[in-house]
Amino acid sequence: MSNSKYLVEVENLQKWFPTRRTIGEVFKGQQRYVKAVDGVSFKIERGEIFGLVGESGCGKTTTGKLIMKLLDPTDGKLIFDDDDVTHLDKVGLDTYRQNVQMVFQDPYASMNPRFRLRDVLEEPLIIHKKGGSKAQRMEMVKKALNEVRLQPSEEFMVRFPHMLSGGQRQRGATARSLILNPKMIVADEPVSMIDLSTRAEILHMMKTVQRELNLTYLYITHDLSTARYFTDKIAVMYLGKIVEMGNPNDVIDNSMHPYTKALITAVCEPIAGKVNRIKEVPIKGEVPSAENIPQGCRFHPRCPYAIKECWEKEEPVLEEVEKGHFVACRRYKEI
Amino acid sequence: MKLAEMKDSFKEFWSEFKKEKTGVIGLILFGIFLFIVIFEPFLLPFEDANTRWRDISYWEDWPKSAPPAWTNWFTSDKKSVTGTLTEYSEISQDMGAMVMKEFVFEYDYQYDDAPNDIIIHGDASGQPIVVVNILRPDGEEIETFQSAYNAGERTKDIRISIDNSSRDIIYNFAKDFESQENLRNVKPGLIKTTNGIFSKAQEGILRYPEPLKGNYQIKITAILRDENDNMDTPYIIMPGKVSGVLGTDSQKRDIWTGVLAGVKWALLIGILTAVFSVTIGVIYGVISAYLGGWKDALMQRVFEVFVSVPLLPVLIVLSAVFEPSIWMMVMLMAMFFWTGSVKTVRSMAMQIKEETFIEASKALGASNFRIIFKHMVPILIPYSFSSMALFIPRAVVYEASISLLGLGDSQIVTWGQILSDALNSGAVLNGLWWWVVPPGLAIAFMGMAFAFIGFSMDKILHPKLRTR
Amino acid sequence: MEKTKMKDNRNVLEVENLKLYYNVSDGQVKAVDDVTFFLRKGETLGLVGESGCGKTTTATALMHLPTPPGYIAGGKIILDGEDIVPLKETEIRKRIRWEKISMVFQGAMNCLTPVYTIGKLMTETLQEHRAISQGEKTSGFSKSRKTPRKMNKEEARKIMVKYLDYVGLSEDILRRYPHELSGGMKQRVVIAMALFLEPKVIVCDEPTTALDVVVQAQIINLLKELKEKLDLAFIFITHDLATVAEVSDRVQIMYAGRIMEIGTNQQIYGKQGPMHPYTRRLLEATPRLHEEVEELAFIPGTPPDLLRPPQGCKFHDRCDVAMEKCKTEEPDLIEVEEDHYVACWRCRK
């Protein structure tokens, strides 16, 4: 097994969902698609935390599911650990699932409410036939709970999800994702449902675990603030495509794409003296439906800097404008 | 450990359940039903009722369509209550050529309305001559019956119905007291024999009888002319105007006995059918919802075929082909009842399928089997219980409908059969409420018991309702 | 809090010693425990706290709509000079709710009945309080005081259009169905509906939580504009200190059913910073986009179980500056400087 620098390589990944056809379309043989993910390429280094940031409906969760192989891509290529995993047979999928785990947004919903925490954690072991006996498996569960600092583990093991606080649940969910010793974890908004006072604690824990076990994270979020703190690289998605990518400081302090800029201005900050000012939000309206993606640059209808070229010419591609800083805008220099 | 844990979770469940008033009521009702089933041999007034429910001869001594005995409490005229006389004094006289055995029964008559009949039973063998004398409290003695029997060598039950056999004798006895005018209005062949026996010997004895209260002696004399002749262990049944806990039906059967005997069958038919059909339905619905796509569509079409097959005609045909038995009925009902929960289960499973924890399991690599049976089906268990609770009365009623067509299991007594008999005999039109209401109530209570239990369980076992 | 401060003719709403309890099988939950605060005319009060701190419960009490088994166990809610706690439900419905105080419930935008057009939904809401006659002209017959003021369809339409205009939506929204609108538009519709009867106070429960950042900013701007234009008083409930900083003139922080601190925007977010250790640490835990931090701060532990609340100050077991006194005695809310109230032993001189 050659060890390249990258654990995950995504090339032009697409996911189109067919829409329900009207009678007219059935007769004409037409089919429209919701282009949830419309050609996404990025690479995640080993041991890196890669942040995928965007508003709801931008395709970040679908991308996460594609990488989790919960969905099959319409087109594109997915390389994991130097193997092409775009299409996998049952055995291949089995191995893949051991290597890639997921932490969901809502830790409560992601656990069967009828399972005690130990059953929740035991499940991956049973599925992948790890740990010979029940006692051995329980040892592994305990170990995983200790890793995420759910202590005393014996006490937490017998609790049901509804007997845990939000933070404890997310720790439990993280423990479940760690128990098979995966190489990568896809974390879909892992802290958005957790109270502010414990949110940082969870992120801190996840980062510690990541460093200790040398894990790779794909961190999906809408929250630029936590992404800045948590990630090593940020990709900003808009309508199924990445519009800007780079290390967090570049993307946030030196953003180049008008969409990223707008997102950053819109974020609220706990600073005094903003009450009586109407905030300048440079972009208008809301994200259009992924069913009819605008011609040309998909951001042009909302872009304050759009010129004729933006909708008449083909879509700008993601290009490296500084070292490690990619932008998909043809006017990034002018604005 | 596993056992202790189960005990713990049951304890937890029970402490929750105790707070549900309706659930406790349901449980109490269920407990009563269970008690009846367990102690049925001690509770049944007629021990052979289970096997001889449809045997006319088993019930022939009892009154026809008699209301329950307790209706006397609400009327000023006290009607005679059905009773059995078993105590007697026996005198045996050896008269050389023959032996005279005399059995004397005491009957304290304190009612306003005479019993329907006096029925005498005894074990006889050979060719005894039996004579029945009644000594009234006013001193009159009537020889009501005299007949020779040919019982043969084996001991055989003899049955004497005074009402039938002594009408003429009583007419003759009574006409001496009755006025000519009254006699003209009375047809000798249609008089009530027992009215003559239990009324005051005065004008109107036949037409406007007044009860003669007091102590009656019924004397049964058996004349044995041969060594082989014998008569022994006589007893007398007085089929009253009112009878038993719940009265009798038009075929003289004791309804209380029927209702009691029906409990176990109702429970059996109800629970078995419900368990089978709900289990099939839940699994079918979940699988259909989980697989989705064309498989779901196919399973739904199959489901629709089953739904659209009318169960009753199928049952009629199959009952005609096979011996109709309760087991077959349960099987057939389960085969068609499972459709009842499929739609709901499918829609619930559709929702569960979208839950994140199902996706999480998939992401962990869980097999479809595991997801269906470990994650989806258990969540539907509370629903299953409550829908089982609703299937139980449905199964009981369905069994009744089939019985109504004469296709029920003829070996058993069910509430449905009692009801359908009542319906066929026009019990409602004739005002025989005691024939219709008790089995109906029993079905209702059975349904209620399980519905209450089901809803309470649903409330407790559904974790989402619980955390809120 | 001193009574003198409370009685102030600038106040449109005064809440005194409000208690809202839940009687559950395991005991009593004091979801809102002896809470006193006020709201001035034309200001926005931010009500901040973590989930389960009683902020939404306080709002339901203000609307006189406690969720069963919750009930108002005591206290006064003086709205526009009248205590509404002892009023009967019929009275509340007729004169108070939506008329004087209205609420934008959390997630209300997702609860618009999908089968009706926005116009129909809005008409229905309006009809609850203003009988709309089918005819062209206002009926002159109804003299009875009991029936609500009558209006005809055209008038109703005018009102709807007027308020849609306030929230920045055009008239043709009336013909659309909820699913045809984006999240931001739906939230605007819900806000317009809360404005209909020109209430004095509007309670907004997490109005921006489910929205995207850009839309969030738009809604926040809208609320600011409305406040200016209509001279409304807002109570803005959220869990996010950053959002509150943008909209609230004054900020009130709740924890475990108690108010921990009330201060002006400047007092909480200014240089000096908040006084209560909870507020301070919550603010530290709030991520800031434009500051590079190595480690985000957090508060260890979890909020207390309200069935078994701790003795003394509810925050003491998570507090890093707790004293012996904090463990035994619960501090009241006292004014430490103008408009700045803190419930903490440490903050007393």
- pLDDT tens sequence across B381-424: 777 877 787 788 778 777 777 776 767 777 788 888 888 888 88
Q: How many CB pairs under 8 A join A and B?
A: 57
pLDDT for the residue C7: 58
What's the CA gap between A278 and A327, in Å, rounded?
A: 29
The phi and psi torsions of C64 (rounded to 5 degrees) equal 60, 40
Q: Which two tokens stand for residue A169?
A: 């649940």
Q: Which two tokens stand for residue C86?
A: 């002892």
- pLDDT tens sequence across A252-264: 888 899 999 888 8
Report which of B115, B98, B105 is spatially closest to residue B62, judged by C-alpha positions. B115
| Residue A32 neighbours by CB distance under 10 Å | 15
Least confident of A118-122, B6-10, B326-330, C1-5: C1-5
CA of B346 to nearest chain A CA: how many angstroms apart?
Answer: 19
Q: Do B365 and A94 touch (CB under 8 A)?
A: yes
| Cα B63 to Cα B109, B256, B276, B354, distances in angstroms | 17, 14, 42, 65
pLDDT for the residue A291: 82
Q: Is C87 on the interface with A (CB under 8 A)?
A: no
Residue B299 reports pLDDT greater than 90: yes
Mean pLDDT of A59-82: 90
Q: Look at the pTM and tell me if it is higher than 0.80.
A: no
CA of C222 to nearest chain A CA: how many angstroms apart?
Answer: 9
Please check whether residue A189 is in contact with residue A220, taking contact to mean a CB–CB distance below 8 angstroms.
yes
Residue A199 reports pLDDT greater than 90: no
pLDDT for the residue B21: 86
Label residue B154 exposed, middle or buried (CB < 10 Å: 0-12, 13-18, 19+): exposed
**Residue of chain A minimizing CA distance to B463:** A113
CA of A126 to nearest chain B CA: how many angstroms apart?
Answer: 9
What's the CA gap between A111 and A172, in Å, rounded?
A: 9
- pLDDT tens sequence across B90-99: 888 888 778 8
Label residue A255 exposed, middle or buried (CB < 10 Å: 0-12, 13-18, 19+): buried
Q: Which helix (H) or strand (E) holds B335?
A: helix B326-337
DSSP C54: S
| Residue B259 neighbours by CB distance under 10 Å | 20
**Residue of chain C minimizing CA distance to A229:** C293
Percent of chain A residues topping a pLDDT of 70: 99
What's the CA gap between B335 and A205, in Å, rounded?
A: 55
pLDDT for the residue B466: 41
pLDDT for the residue C146: 45
DSSP B279: H
Please check whether residue B412 is in contact with residue B267, taking contact to mean a CB–CB distance below 8 angstroms.
no
pLDDT for the residue C144: 42
| pLDDT tier at A2, thresholds 50, 70, 90 | low
Mean pLDDT of B342-365: 88
Given a contact as 3+ CB pairs under 8 Å, which chains touch B? A
DSSP C96: I
Q: Is A116 on the interface with B (CB under 8 A)?
A: no
Q: Do A106 and B464 touch (CB under 8 A)?
A: no
Q: Is C246 on the interface with A (CB under 8 A)?
A: yes
Residue A174: its chain B contacts at CB < 8 A? none
| pLDDT tier at B284, thresholds 50, 70, 90 | very high
B155 conformational bin, left if phi > 0, alpha if psi -120 to 50, beta if neither: beta
- pLDDT tens sequence across A30-50: 888 888 898 899 999 999 999
Q: What pairs with residue B95 in β-bridges?
A: none
Q: Is A114 on the interface with B (CB under 8 A)?
A: yes
DSSP C276: S
pLDDT for the residue B465: 42
Q: Do B365 and A105 touch (CB under 8 A)?
A: no
- Minimal Cβ distance to C246: which of A197, A228, A274: A274
* SS3 labels along chain A: CCCCCEEEEEEEEEEEEECCCCHHHHHHCCCCEEEEEEEEEEEEECCCEEEEECCCCCCHHHHHHHHHCCCCCCEEEEEECCEECCCCCHHHHHHHHHHEEEECCCCCCCCCCCCCHHHHHHHHHHHCCCCCCHHHHHHHHHHHHHHCCCCCHHHHHCCCHHHCCHHHHHHHHHHHHHCCCCCEEEEECCCCCCCHHHHHHHHHHHHHHHHHHCCEEEEEECCHHHHHHHCCEEEEEECCEEEEEECHHHHHHCCCCHHHHHHHHHCCCCCCCCCCCCCCCCCCCCCCCCCCCCCCCCCHHHCCCCCHHHHHCCCCCCEEEECCEEECCCCCCCC
Cis peptide before B438 (omega within 30 of 0): no
Q: Is B9 on the interface with A (CB under 8 A)?
A: no
Please check whether residue A172 is in contact with residue A120, taking contact to mean a CB–CB distance below 8 angstroms.
yes
Residue C266: its chain A contacts at CB < 8 A? 272-273
Mean pLDDT of A254-280: 84
| Residue A218 neighbours by CB distance under 10 Å | 28
pLDDT for the residue C254: 92
**Residue of chain B minimizing CA distance to A119:** B374
Angle between helices C153-166 and C118-129 (to 10 degrees): 110
pLDDT for the residue C250: 92
pLDDT for the residue C145: 43
- pLDDT tens sequence across A210-250: 999 899 999 999 888 888 888 999 999 998 999 999 998 88
Please check whether residue A150 is in contact with residue A168, taking contact to mean a CB–CB distance below 8 angstroms.
yes
| Cα A218 to Cα A64, A113, A169, A206, B365, distances in angstroms | 8, 26, 20, 12, 19
- pLDDT tens sequence across A298-312: 888 888 888 888 888
Q: Do B463 and A98 touch (CB under 8 A)?
A: no
Q: Is B370 on the interface with A (CB under 8 A)?
A: yes
Q: Do C224 and A229 touch (CB under 8 A)?
A: no
pLDDT in tens, chain C (349 residues): 544 455 567 788 999 999 999 888 778 888 898 899 999 988 999 999 888 888 888 998 998 888 878 889 888 899 888 898 888 888 888 888 888 898 988 888 888 888 889 888 888 888 777 765 554 444 444 444 444 556 777 888 888 888 888 888 888 888 888 888 888 888 889 998 888 888 889 999 988 887 888 888 888 888 888 888 888 899 999 988 888 888 899 999 999 899 999 999 999 988 888 999 999 988 888 888 877 777 778 888 888 888 888 888 989 888 888 888 888 888 988 888 888 999 988 887 6
Cα B325 to chain centroid, rounded? 18
pLDDT for the residue C143: 43
The order of strands in the sheet holding C201-205 is C101-104, C201-205, C233-238, C44-48, C250-255, C258-264, C340-342, C334-337
Q: Which two tokens stand for residue C75?
A: 């206290």
